[in-house]
Amino acid sequence: MVRFFASDILPFIAGAIAPEWFLRLSKPVVIYPFYHTVSDEYLPHIHPLYKPKTAKAFGKDIEFLSRYFDAVTIDAEKLTKHAFHLSFDDGLRGVYETVCPLLFRKGIPATVFINSDFVDNRRLFYRHKAALLIDKLTKQPVSKAVQKEISTGLGIHFSPKHSLQANIRQLPYLEKNRLDTLATLLEVDFQLYLKKNRPYLTTSELKEMQGKGFAIGAHSIDHPPYSELDETEQIRQTVESCNYVKENFREKRAYFSFPFSDEGISGSFFEAVAGKVDLSFGITGIHFQNRGKHAGRIDMEKNGRNAREIINKAFLKYKINSLHI
């Protein structure tokens, strides 16, 4: 019954109620909508995993947010009305090409969270590797013999009933080296893709974006699911990536967004990074903890919905949670 309410009733209510109703019921808060990139073109390293917003859809989101909320910087504190701060994960080049010019024209500040290993296109995110392999398999189906080799490379038993694409998509971070084996088998050159397509932001592009209202935050070294790491590695990934940002981009404060999810992060983790991370962010909608130093963000790419429904649903959940029922 609870699951039915969350999946079916909440979207209906959220889409039907005027945003002003939610805003009147809440004291001023900052909401943190986030994206990865914006693109009108098919991106082989992304689209097999999820569908980014188009430039037109993103523009409509910004119109909605600007109508009901003030645009503020990432560390805004004193609020007179509800506000929003945009952020973009993974340090993707589309943010520089499409997002930055639009936000600069409108005077809207934002934050881009980067993975230190990917800046300047030094390395390819393992999930983007998986997407390129899925893209190749989708466009060029392979023989049963090659399918068996791929299954061996994935460490699974071959079965015609199993989707190789699904198994590649679900490959754990700790087994990511298997993707390099499959790339050789499928003749996918990850280094060539990095060189030719430049999917990630460069140091110079990031510094230019800083001059146009973007803050730079950390998003771990190479984007692992923290649920697969022990706490020592979680701390290392966090602190080293924050240090990278401070050293290379001279940010005065350390901002960090958890890769994938902040679910299950322990209190001892937050204690260990206190003083090294000023503000951290998860993906739990409108949510605040750790004495206001950790906030949830709102995923704006899910299910292709519009900003009105997504934001209204986030506020509805926020109000329900505040009632402790």
Tens digit of each residue's pLDDT (9 = 90 or more) over 2-32: 444 444 555 555 555 666 666 666 788 899 9
Which pairing describes strands 214-218 and 110-114: parallel, antiparallel, or unpaired? parallel
Locus of tokens 């998986």: 130
| Structural domain range at position 225 | 2-123+200-322
pLDDT tens string 208-243: 999 999 999 999 999 999 999 999 999 999 999 999
Residues 150 and 187 in one domain: yes
With b for 16 or more beta-carbon neighbours within 10 A and e for fewer, the 216-249 pattern comes to bbbbbbbbbbbeebeeeebbebbbebbebbbeeb
Residues 24 and 93 in one domain: yes
Residue 212 — left, alpha, or beta (φ > 0 → left; ψ -120 to 50 → alpha)? Answer: alpha
Comparing 13-27, 66-80, 144-158, 209-223, which segment has the lowest mean pLDDT? 13-27
Among 155, 170, 194, residue at a domain's last position? 194
Confidence grade of residue 150 (pLDDT, cut at 50, 70, 90): confident
Count of structural domains, the chain: 2
CATH number at residue 104: 3.20.20.370
Residue 307 has, within 13 A of its CA and on its CB side, a CA count of 22
pTM above 0.75, yes or no: yes
Residues 227 and 93 in one domain: yes
- CB neighbour list of residue 289: distance below 8 Å, 6 or more residues apart: none
Quick check: 176 and 121 in contact, CB under 8 A?
no
Per the prediction, the chain carries an average pLDDT of: 90
